[in-house]
Amino acid sequence: MTKTTGFPSDLEIARSVAPRPILEVAAELGLRPDETELYGPSKAKVSLSAIRRLESERPYGKYVVVTAISPTPLGEGKTTTTIGLAQGLNKIGRRAAVTIRQPSLGPVFGIKGGAAGGGYSQVIPMEDFNLHLTGDNHAIGAAHNLAAAFLDNSLHHKNPLEIDPHSIVWPRVVDISDRALRHAVIGLGGREDGVPREDEWQITVASEVMAILALAGDLADLRARLGRVILAYSTDGTPVTAEDLRVAGAMTVLLRDAIKPNLLQTLEGGPALVHCGPFGNIAHGNNSVLADRLALATNEMVCTEAGFGADMGAEKFFDIKCRTSGLRPDAGVLVATVRALKMHAGVGRIVAGKPLDPALAVENVEAVRMGAQNLAAQIENVSRFGVPVVVAINAFPTDTSAETQAIVDAALAAGARDAVRSTHFSDGGAGAEALAQAVWEAAVEGAPRFTMLYPDDAPLSTKIWTIATEIYGADGIDLAPAAEKSLRKIESTGYGHLPVCMAKTQYSLSHDPTLLGRPREFRVPIRDLRLCAGAGFVTAYAGDMRTMPGLPSHPGGENIDIDADGEVVGLF
C-alpha cells in the first residue's frame, strides 16, 4: 500500500514504537543469555552453538517462501508483506518469525531506498537495519578484497603459481553503486605499485563471498567453501583457488562474526532474523540458511523472502538454496498489486522517485485481467516445484473491489490455492490475519510433494534451457561463443553437476526489461558463464546484466542527513 496524504513516513512509524529489549525476544525463542551477543539494546547476534542446540531439542516449524509477480521499479511490497504475514500469524495465535536479507548501501543511497518493510509492517530499528547493522557487509567486502590483494601480491612477487593475468576472474567489490569502477586499470605508478592490468569492481552483494555466507551450514563449511573459490587460472589452465593462495583461512577469520545471524524484531515485537543480502537478479537472492534453521527450530512458521519475482529469487530458492540446505518449503506466497498488473498490461509508466502515473489510479478492470497473465505465469512457476500457492494482494487506497476481484479470479484460475487482500501496510498484523490463516492452512493441509526443476546430473546447457523454457516461457537459449567456451571449461573441470544461477533483468519474465506481462516467442541469449565453485553454482549471464549498478541523476542519498539532534532524516 502506498502512503496517503497525512499518513506518517516509514521512519516516523518506526520511531513511534519503542523496541522491546532484544534479550526478551531472544528469551521467547528459547535462547540463553550466553547464546546472544548484544549490539546495543535492540539487536544481537546469535551463536551457531545455539542453533545446533535448539535443532536437537525441537522439531522444525512450517517453511513459507514469499515471492512475487515481476516487479515494477517501485517494488510491490514483498518485504512488507513478508513482515506483515509474520505479524498476522502471531495475531492469530501462531508463533511465527520472519527471515529476510540485509540491504546493500548501494540501493539505500541510490534508487530503492531502505528495505526494512514499510508502513506498519517493518523491522526495527529501521536506521540500523538499513545502515551497517552489525557490519556483516563490510566484513564480506573485506574478505573478498583480501583475496584480491593476495592475488595481485602473488603476481608482484614473481608469480610463483604461474597465474595468467588475462585469466583472472576475481574482481574487487564495494558496497556503493559506482559505475566509474565497472572497468578500471590497476597497478599504475611504477614497479612497486603492482602489476598493471585491467580489473573491475562489483557491488558487494554480488560477491561470491556473500553467496557463500548465505549458503554455509557452519564455520567449517564456510572455511571449506572459501578454500574452493576460484580466483584465476594458471598458464596451463589449472584453477587457482583461495586455498592455493593461502588466503582462505584469513578470509574465514574476517567472517567469524558475520556468519552469526542477526536478531531484530518487527514493529509488533515478533522475532526477525536479518542475515546476508545477495541480489536476486545477479546472485541467488535469499537470506542465510543458518537464519532459516534458527527460525524453524524456534517457531511454528517461518516466513522467508526470495528476491524479486518467482522467476528469479524463488526459482533460486528452490533450485539452489533448498538443494544446498536440504530444507523443504511447505507453501509459497506470491505478492501482487493492482497497479503492477495494470503496468504489465501497458497502462501507465512507473519511474522510481517520480509521482505515480495518474492512469494507474483509475479503475481499469480489463487492464488488471490482461496484466494478470504475468501473475498466472508466476503462480505456475511456483506450482512447478510442487508448492501450494497463496496470492497476497497488497492493497492500495486506489484499488477498487472489481479490480481486486479480477486478481482473485485470475489467481484461482491459474491454480493458486487462495488469493487474499491484505492491508498490512496500514494496519500491521491485524490487516494480514486473513492472509495468515490462508497461508497456515496451505502449509498444514498441502500434500508435501516438493521437487527440483532439474537433476544434478543434467548437462549445464540443459539446466539453462530448462529454466529459460519452463520458468521464463522462452522458446530456447542462444549461447554466445564466450558462453560456449566457458561451459566446456566448467564441465571439463568437473563442475557440471552444479545448479545454475541465472543473472537477468528482474522486470520481465524474459531477459529484456521492456517485455512486460507474459512475453511469448523469444529466446534467451546467454553471453557468458562463471563458475562459483565455493558457493556451489554456475552463474549464467542473460542479456546485458551488470554487477555494478550506477546512481540515478538524483540519488536517494541526497535526501539523507543528520538533524540538530543527531537523528537520521530522509531515509525511506
pLDDT at 157: 95
Give residue-wise pLDDT tens across range 436-479: 999 999 999 876 689 999 999 999 999 999 999 999 999 999 99
Q: List Cβ<8 Å contacts ≥24 apart for 247-250.
A: 247/146, 247/147, 247/150, 248/223, 249/223, 250/146
Task: Count the neighbouring beta carbons within 10 Å of the beta carbon of residue 441.
Answer: 15
pLDDT of residue 7: 85
What's the confidence (pLDDT) of residue 544? Answer: 81
Mean pLDDT of 111-130: 85
Q: pLDDT tens across 74-114, in order? A: 778 999 999 999 999 999 999 999 999 998 888 788 876 67
Among 82-91, 137-146, 150-159, 177-186, the minimum mean pLDDT is found in: 177-186
Q: Summarize the confidence of residues 494-512 as an average pLDDT.
A: 95
The closest of 230, 184, 181, 185 to 209, measured between CA atoms, is 230
Q: Can you give the pLDDT at residue 72?
A: 86
- Rounded to an integer, what distance in angstroms lies between the CA atom of residue 185 and that of residue 202? 14
Residue 111 bridge partners (DSSP)? none
Q: Does residue 4 register a pLDDT over 70?
A: no
Q: How do residues 293-346 score in pLDDT, each as one tens digit?
A: 999 999 999 999 998 999 999 999 999 999 999 999 999 999 999 999 999 999
Q: Mind giving me the DSSP string for 14-33?
A: HHTS-PPPHHHHHHHTT--G
> Which of the pair, 445 or 376, is modelled with greater confidence?
376
Give the separation between CA 414 and CA 225, rounded to whole angstroms: 40
Alpha carbon 437 to its chain centroid, in Å, reads 26
Structure confidence at residue 355 (pLDDT): 78
Average pLDDT score, the chain? 93
What is the pLDDT, as a whole number, of residue 3? 45
Contact indicator for 225, 536 with CB cutoff of 8 Å: yes
71 has pLDDT over 80 = yes
To which H or E segment does residue 79 belong? helix 78-91
Residue 399 and residue 416: Cα distance in Å, rounded? Answer: 21
Confidence of residue 556 (pLDDT cuts 50, 70, 90): confident
pLDDT class for 353, splitting at 50, 70, 90? low
Fold type of domain 460-542? Formyltetrahydrofolate synthetase; domain 3 (3.10.410)
pLDDT in tens, 202-231: 999 999 999 999 999 999 999 999 999 999
Res 560: pLDDT: 81
Provide the CA 148 distance to its chain's centre, in angstroms: 25
| pLDDT at site 565 | 80
Enter the pTM of the model. Answer: 0.94
Distance in angstroms (rounded) separating the CA atoms of residues 178 and 206: 14
Q: What are the residue boundaries of the structural domains of the chain, listed by start?
A: 10-134+258-445, 136-254, 460-542
For residue 123 the three cell numbers come to: 523491522
Quick check: 559 pLDDT over 60? yes
pLDDT at residue 1 greater than cutoff 60 = no
Residue 304 gets the label, from left (phi > 0), alpha (psi -120 to 50) or beta, of: beta
> pLDDT band at residue 527, thresholds of 50, 70 and 90?
very high
**Distance, C-alpha 161 to centroid of its chain:** 36
Burial readout 445-482 (b: 16 or more C-beta within 10 A, e: otherwise): ebeeeeeebbeeebebbebbbbbbeebbbbeebebeee
Q: Are residues 298 and 322 in contact, defined by beta-carbon separation less than 8 angstroms? A: no
pLDDT of residue 537: 96
Inform me whether the pLDDT recorded for 39 exceeds 50: yes
Q: Specify the CATH number of the domain 136-254.
A: 3.30.1510.10
Q: How far apart are the first and last CA of the chain?
A: 14
pLDDT digits 0-9 by tens, 40-65: 999 999 999 999 999 999 999 999 99
239 has which bridge partners?
233
- Residue 424 pLDDT greater than 90, yes or no: yes
pLDDT band at 126 (very low <50, low <70, confident <90, very high): confident
Lowest mean pLDDT among 134-143, 158-167, 279-288: 279-288
Q: Is 80 exceeded by the pLDDT of residue 16?
A: yes
**What's the mean pLDDT in 268-289?**
92
CA distances from 54 to 57, 99, 192, 295 (A): 5, 17, 53, 10
The grid cell for 572 is: 525511506
Fold topology of 10-134+258-445: Rossmann fold (3.40.50)
Q: Give dist(CA 371, CA 150) in Å, integer.
A: 51
Overall average pLDDT of the 492-508 stretch: 94
Burial class (CB in 10 A: 0-12, 13-18, 19+), 326: exposed
